[in-house]
Amino acid sequence: MDKVFFDSNGYKVTNTSFTYKGYKDNIDNVMSLNIIEWSKAQRIKYGLGLGIFSVVMFYTIGWFLVLPILGALSEEVPYTYITEVVTSIVFIIFSIIGYISRKGCTLELERNNGNKGTIGKSLNRNYFDELLNAFVQAKKLK
């Protein structure tokens, strides 16, 4: 009979297995769980990076689709700066999305073969701390 150390919201830690988001893994195959807390500077950097990437993709994909339309519209007097305005709006929207998406904590799983991946996000670190403590207890029994 497996001893259950933690069971809540899609995560379950027993002395033989670790279940997360519907995937069940042998506890021996999981090397560690890491909690990543995003600082304000990291969130701003990620947001700006996503904003710049979105502008590059907007011009790359939009070269054939969007920019000719914006160019035609910008020849008329009220729309002279429409390309710059749309580019700025794209940058601002994706920067905000990038900043908001890094809110709170991220749980990262590392396997014995070196693979890493995020398996969850939470606004409250205490939830992941409980999970991490249960995982450490389960690993000690092995």
Q: At what angle do helices 67-74 and 82-101 cross, to 10 degrees?
A: 140
The percent of residues in the chain predicted with pLDDT above 90, rounded, is: 25
**Span 27-43, average pLDDT:** 90
pLDDT at residue 72 is higher than 80: no
Token output for 68: 């000719």
In this predicted model, what pLDDT tens digit does every residue of 7-20 receive, in sequence order? 888 899 998 899 98
What pLDDT shows up at residue 10?
86
In this prediction the pTM is 0.67
What DSSP string runs through 54-73? HHHHHHHHHTTTTHHHHHHH
Query: Cα separation of 109 and 125, whole Å?
Result: 16
Identify the sign of the CA torsion 83, 87, 93, 94. Answer: positive
H or E, element range at 139: helix 125-141
| pLDDT of the residue at 79 | 63
Whole-number percent of the chain with pLDDT over 70? 90
> In the predicted model, is pLDDT for residue 99 greater than 70?
yes
- Residue 69: C-alpha distances to residues 65, 73, 94, 137 (Å): 7, 6, 22, 61
Flag whether pLDDT at 65 surpasses 80.
Answer: no
